[in-house]
Amino acid sequence: MKRFQNKVAESGLSLPVTAIGALCVWMVATSMFSGGLSAEGIGSLACFVLAVYLMVEMSNGNALLRIRSRMVSVCFMSLMCTMSPLFGSFTGALTQGFVIISTLLLLSTYQDKGSPGRVFYAFVFVGLASLTFVQTLLLLPLLWLLMATQLQSLTWRSLFASLLGTALPYWLVSPWFIYQRDASLLAGHFASLATVRPPFQFGTVAPSLWVAYALVVVLTAIGIFSFWHHSYEDKIRIRLLYGYFTWMAVVCLVLVVLQPCHFDPLMRLAVVFASPLIAHFMALTNSRLTNIMFIAIMVLTLIVTILNLFQR
């Protein structure tokens, strides 16, 4: 028997309806937090639209769900709407877009040890993401570990390709700094890697955003538990890909608590990796309890969205 959650998950209207709602939230958020339409706001919207498209491609290209569903991108948009004060950040939107493209390329290397070319391009986008958010470089060891264990594509050649790819954006921007005869900006960019703020400084972020964070944590935990409880129904490849999403989401969410000063970019990355986990729960479970949970999640997401949309 198809329940309400299954009808929504399989409906072709879910994506366009959510997209229209997200656009309305963006318009209201822009007028309230940015004082009206601006070039930065338009840029962040363009990045958001691109991110949604890339999430659709990630889901379809890797068959993340066993049914025809757009829930991965629907969950992505819904969770981003709960953090509407972040919509005006163009640099945060760029970081998120670069990481999604990098993830798409990395997932395509699954069990392909002869793919240093794709690894190179994937880490070019990691390098680009680090230009807007230098702490992205701290994720490099985790990415290499997940390439070895989950994607099973790490070799000495791909490791070297990843280093070259990450360094390429810096090689391209260095001549400009040399021309300007001001290397202090680039040095300061890397110096911020060694600057660690005191952890658990929750006062640096609005309380309503911490409510959104708590919602993402709870939904991610539900998604992880649900997936691994039903993982026997998925192929080994899908299990390993979801293992990749799980570790990336958990690490990003932990880093948010340890370094709240980077709430914007870290939460954007956490949402990218948490969305497939949450979508799997929503689309592929079918019981009275999960149906009630689905309705409750919809209501809570709407409440948190409104809370952050009209916060002062």
61-97 pLDDT, tens per residue?
999 998 899 999 999 999 999 999 888 889 999 999 9
Look up tokens 């994506």; give the residue.
15
Residue with tokens 């999960």: 290
Look at 176 and 139; give whichever has higher pLDDT.
139
DSSP for the chain? ---HHHHHHH-TTHHHHHHHHHHHHHHHHHHHHSSS--HHHHHHHHHHHHHHHHHHHHHHHHT-SSSS--HHHHHHHHHHHTTGGGTT-HHHHHHHHHHHHHHHHHHTTTT-TT-HHHHHHHHHHHHHHHHH-GGGGGGHHHHHHHHHHTS----HHHHHHHHHHHHHHHHHHHHHHHHHT--HHHHHHHHGGG--PPTT-GGGS-HHHHHHHHHHHHHHHHHHHHHHHSGGGS-HHHHHHHHHHHHHHHHHHHHHHH-GGGHHHHHHHHHHHHHHHHHHHHHH--SHHHHHHHHHHHHHHHHHHHHHHT--
Rounded mean pLDDT of 180-209? 76
Higher pLDDT, 189 or 237: 237
What is the structure's pLDDT at 83? 93
Lowest mean pLDDT among 154-158, 162-166, 171-175: 171-175
For residues 285-306, give the mean pLDDT: 95
Q: Is the pLDDT of residue 176 over 80?
A: no
Higher-confidence residue of 30 and 297: namely 297
The C-alpha atoms of residue 274 and residue 76 are separated, in whole angstroms, by 8
Q: Which has more confidence, 57 or 186? A: 57
pLDDT higher than threshold 90 for residue 187:
no
pTM score: 0.93
What lies within 8 Å, CB to CB, of 232 at 6+ separation is none
* Mean of pLDDT over the chain: 90
